[in-house]
């Protein structure tokens, strides 16, 4: 029986992002769970995993960072085997993922990623990471999230020696232990020609995404990865057209938006995910991000999706506190005319409050959606007391991911097993309006034969 009488109506108001109507204000944030099949193809487990969250009532699914370039030197994250949509041959398997999620009731965007930048590694690829400048990243030990204690990481990776206690000692030891990922390798400076190759590739990958039936795309530019590192004076020391001034530091992102728009047209939904801040000496703050967000809108972006921090400040990237990014989101939303999505609010009351106060237009959840895929349905039915609350322990999801293992959840034994559950694999049959049919309608051409399902 429903027990919670709180007014959660703001959560269930539909919202339009670009031309996409979304039934409620909850999105699933993109999180790689190491479920991808070899070759960057979606696995049965991936299909079922996303289906569980769609069936649980989530309005929008954003599919985890999908490789949007064919450049081999951009794939320096091979240990984590991202999905890919950069090649035409990948369209059909990615289309199957989009159709599966749609069959369970959610809209779906695909997040397009061109490179981890200086946060990549030669560990799996043998290729030196690249970045705006030859500046390695170093985690700030006081910025490590729960579950990432260096001692535990070193022991899990087989190190049996003495573990230092000073930040300097921890970072020095991390450089000697493969897979510790507490400090980066020295990257090489990416060339202008290589930047332009990535810009061209992301445009083509957006077209592939549209053909595959995704409702929109999201440019991956947060968390210290390549595009983020162009924004920051901590990592960008270039003196050419991609460094120095504000416009130069955001140039690659603006070029990516233009490249995508040139391929998919003005009406397709195109968004950008960026970190709200860096919260480190010499790093940018929410006021700087607000300027980026406004420029994205001016270039034709349909929405902004926030995250926070980077590998150097991981407890911003993986917040320890509920609603940690909300006040930053409020700053960035001021003067913005497109929807803003704020991450990591788990409490239903806090979600409703942030939406009601206009600090965000949608809320995205990552770890909470892993812990309980039925979060939205339970709130809708007044069963908030039944929600499996994420404790932000980071052990089954992030901890296993960092070790190269498939994601699990200490609170939800179903995670990683969804493919064996018929309720998430069996989907209804329905007529599919293909991209060709939809495009004909968009340009005002009347189909000469009946639509599928009307024969």
Query: Helices 326-333 and 348-356 sit at what angle, rounded to 10 degrees?
Result: 20
| Residues assigned a catalytic role | 225
> Per-residue pLDDT tens for 352-392?
999 999 999 999 999 999 999 999 999 999 999 999 999 99
pLDDT band per the 50, 70, 90 thresholds, residue 433:
low
Per-residue pLDDT reduced to its tens digit, 404-430: 899 999 999 999 999 999 999 998 766
Cβ-contact 15, 339 below 8 angstroms: yes
pLDDT tens digits, one per residue of 214-232: 999 999 999 999 999 999 9
Range scoring the smallest mean pLDDT among 65-79, 164-178, 285-299, 367-381: 164-178
Q: Residue 75: which of 128, 132, 134, 139 has the closest Cα?
A: 128
Of 299, 303, 314, the closest CA to residue 273 belongs to 303
Strands 107-113 and 340-343, bridge-based pairing? unpaired
State mean pLDDT over 92-120: 96
Within 267-385, strands assigned E span 269-275, 303-307, 340-343, 362-365
CA distance 178 to 175: 7
Q: Would you tell me the crossing angle of helices 91-103 and 44-55 to the nearest 10 degrees? A: 30
Which strand (E) or helix (H) includes residue 107?
A: strand 107-113
> What is the mean predicted confidence (pLDDT) over 105-134?
92
The pTM assigned to this predicted structure is 0.92
The pLDDT value given to residue 418: 98
Q: How confident is the model at residue 346 (pLDDT cuts 50, 70, 90)?
A: very high
CATH class of 9-137+184-442: alpha beta
- Residue 263: is its pLDDT beyond 60? yes
Q: How far apart are CA 117 and CA 114, in angstroms?
A: 9
User: Can you tell me the mean pLDDT for 178-190?
Assistant: 82
Considering the chain, what is the average pLDDT of its residues? 91
Torsion of CA 247, 332, 369, 404, to 10 degrees: 30
Look-up: residue for tokens 């989530």? 58
Structure tokens at 171: 């970072």
pLDDT of residue 365: 98
High-pLDDT (> 90) share of the chain, %: 72
Q: What digits encode the pLDDT tens for the residues 51-61?
A: 999 999 999 99
* pLDDT of 289: 98
- The domain limits of the chain are 9-137+184-442, 141-183
The whole-angstrom separation of Cα 65 and Cα 221 is: 10
Confidence of residue 337 (pLDDT cuts 50, 70, 90): very high
**pLDDT at residue 455 in the model:** 46
């Amino acid at each position: 029986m429903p027990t919670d009488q709180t007014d959660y109506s703001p959560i269930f108001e539909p919202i339009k992002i670009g031309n996409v109507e979304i039934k409620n204000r909850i999105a699933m944030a993109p999180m790689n769970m190491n479920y991808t099949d070899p070759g960057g193809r979606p696995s049965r487990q991936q299909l079922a995993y996303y289906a569980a969250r769609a069936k649980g009532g989530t309005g929008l699914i954003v599919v985890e960072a999908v490789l949007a370039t064919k450049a081999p030197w951009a794939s320096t994250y091979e240990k984590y085997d991202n999905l890919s949509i950069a090649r035409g041959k990948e369209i059909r398997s990615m289309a199957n993922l989009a159709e599966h999620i749609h069959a369970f009731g959610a809209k779906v965007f695909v997040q397009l990623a061109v490179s981890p930048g200086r946060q990549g590694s030669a560990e799996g690829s043998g290729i030196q990471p690249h970045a705006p400048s030859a500046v390695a990243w170093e985690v700030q030990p006081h910025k490590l999230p729960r579950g990432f204690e260096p001692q535990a990481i070193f022991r899990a990776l087989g190190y049996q020696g003495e573990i230092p206690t000073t930040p300097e000692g921890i970072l020095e030891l991390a450089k000697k232990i493969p897979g510790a990922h507490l400090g980066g390798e020295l990257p090489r400076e990416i060339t202008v020609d290589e930047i332009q190759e990535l810009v061209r590739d992301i445009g083509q990958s957006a077209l592939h995404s549209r053909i595959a039936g995704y409702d929109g795309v999201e440019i991956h530019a947060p968390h210290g990865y390549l595009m983020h590192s162009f924004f920051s004076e901590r990592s960008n020391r270039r003196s050419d057209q991609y460094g120095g001034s504000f416009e130069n530091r955001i140039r690659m992102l603006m070029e990516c938006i233009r490249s995508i728009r040139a391929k998919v047209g003005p009406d397709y939904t195109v968004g950008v995910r960026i970190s709200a801040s860096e919260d480190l000496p010499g790093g940018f703050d929410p006021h700087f991000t607000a300027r980026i967000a406004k420029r994205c809108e001016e270039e034709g972006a349909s929405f902004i999706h926030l995250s926070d921090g980077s590998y150097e400040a991981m407890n911003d990237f993986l917040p320890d506190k509920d609603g940690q990014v909300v006040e930053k989101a409020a700053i960035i939303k001021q003067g913005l005319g497109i929807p803003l999505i704020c991450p990591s609010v788990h409490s239903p009351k806090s979600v409703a409050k942030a939406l009601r106060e206009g600090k965000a237009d949608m809320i995205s959840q990552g770890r909470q959606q892993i812990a309980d895929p039925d979060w939205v349905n339970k709130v809708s039915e007044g069963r908030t007391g039944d929600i499996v609350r994420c404790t932000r322990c980071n052990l089954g999801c992030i901890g296993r991911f960092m070790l190269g293992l498939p994601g699990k959840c200490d609170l939800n034994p179903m995670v990683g097993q969804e493919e064996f559950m018929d309720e998430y694999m069996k989907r209804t049959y329905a007529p599919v309006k293909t991209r060709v049919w939809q495009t004909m309608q968009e340009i005002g051409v009347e189909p000469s034969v009946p639509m599928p399902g009307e024969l």
